[in-house]
Each structure stands twice: as C-alpha cells, then as structure tokens.
Structure 1
Amino acid sequence: MAHQTNNAFFFKLALVLSLVLMMSIAESVNLRAVGFKKQDAADAVCNSVHGTESDETCSSVAQEFNLSLDEFLAINPNINCDSVFVGQRLCVDGSA
C-alpha cells in the first residue's frame, strides 16, 4: 500500500512541475510574439541621482529635472511609483 501512495505522490509532483514549466514557456512565447521586451535594469545607464524628499512623486521629480514621465521611467526601470520613499535614490540623468 505504501508503494502505491509513494507512486501517486511522485506522479502528482511530476504533473505539477510539468504544468509550471508549460505556463512559464507559454508566457515567454506570448511576450515575444507581441514584440514585448522586459526592461532590464542593466539596460539603463544613470549619470546622476536624486534623493527624494517628502511629498515627491515620480511625476514631480521628472518635471523638476525636465524629463517626460516615459523618459524618467526608462532610466528607473525597477521603480514602483506607488511607493516612493524619502531618501530613495532616483536616476535623473541617464539613458535606457
């Protein structure tokens, strides 16, 4: 009986791992099919940073340094604009 239970466990484990692998491959293929390229932090080059102050947002920092919001987000690829904190270092001059 223990042998059958062991086989069932490994079968279920293999099934779950196969499903996860298929989902991962499908997501990768779908993103490439529509020409989507994930922004990689290694793609961005930063020449100058700004430490955020109280009440600053992504938009206000971008405006302060004469950047469009798209330019700002391109040189700060990993930023979460919903949770900018005081003292956070943001790139304000660079290229992506």
Structure 2
Amino acid sequence: MAIKMNNKSSMVVNIVLTLSLLLIISMTEGRLLGVNIFGQPKTVYCSKVLGVQNGDTCFDIAQSLNLTAKVFNSINPGINCTDLFIGQWICISGVVI
C-alpha cells in the first residue's frame, strides 16, 4: 500500500526531515565539543583552586597565571566576575570534559 503525495506535501516532508537532521548533527557536535545546548561546559574537573583576596579580579587572577579569558571562563563556568567576594574559591587549573 503506497501513500500518494503531491509535490507540495513531499517538499514539506523533505524540509522537516532536513531540519531534523541538522538539529541532531548540531546537538551531537555540541556534545563532542564538551558543551550543552546553552554553551556551558558539561563537566569541569578542577585540580587547583585559589581563594579570592581583597582587590582580586578575574582578569588579574587569569593574567597572573597566564590563563586566557577563554580558559579561565571554561574552568569557572558559573562565576560572576563582577561580584567576587573575599574567600570565594576560583578554579585556576582544571579540565573540561
């Protein structure tokens, strides 16, 4: 039993299938890159931390450890650099998996 479709229906089905395939591919690439759909790292394993001192900024800490902003932010995904407080733990060495 074959389903008969006109050209318009066939075109709509092809577009839906193509968009579904593109969505699946982009989600898979995100997982391979270690990010979820919101762009946050999946899992951070921190091997060394530093307690924030009076006057510290994210920029100063990253610069003193020769970390790029991208690396610093990836190992500290939930940090709010505009609202650091004394004693707050910041990851200064780690990996993102």
TM class by shorter chain equals 0.5 to 0.7
State the TM-score, normalized to the length of structure 1.
0.58
Gapped regions of structure 1 (runs ≥ 5): 1-28
Question: 1:93 is matched with which residue?
Answer: 93
TM-score, normalization by structure 2? 0.58
Counterpart for residue 47 of structure 1: 47
Structure whose residues are more often helix by fraction: 1
Q: Deviation per CA, 1:12-32: give whole Å up to 9, x if none.
A: xxxxxxxxxxxxxxxxx9xx6
Task: Identify the residue that residue 11 of structure 2 maps to in structure 1.
Answer: none
RMSD: 2.0
Between the aligned partners of 1:56 and 1:93, the Cα distance in structure 2 is 17
Amino acid at match of 1:81: C
User: Does 2:35 match 1:64?
Assistant: no
Q: Which residue of 1 is the match for residue 77 of structure 2?
A: 77
What count of residue pairs does the alignment treat as equivalent? 63
Spell out structure 1 runs of 4+ moving beyond 6 A.
none
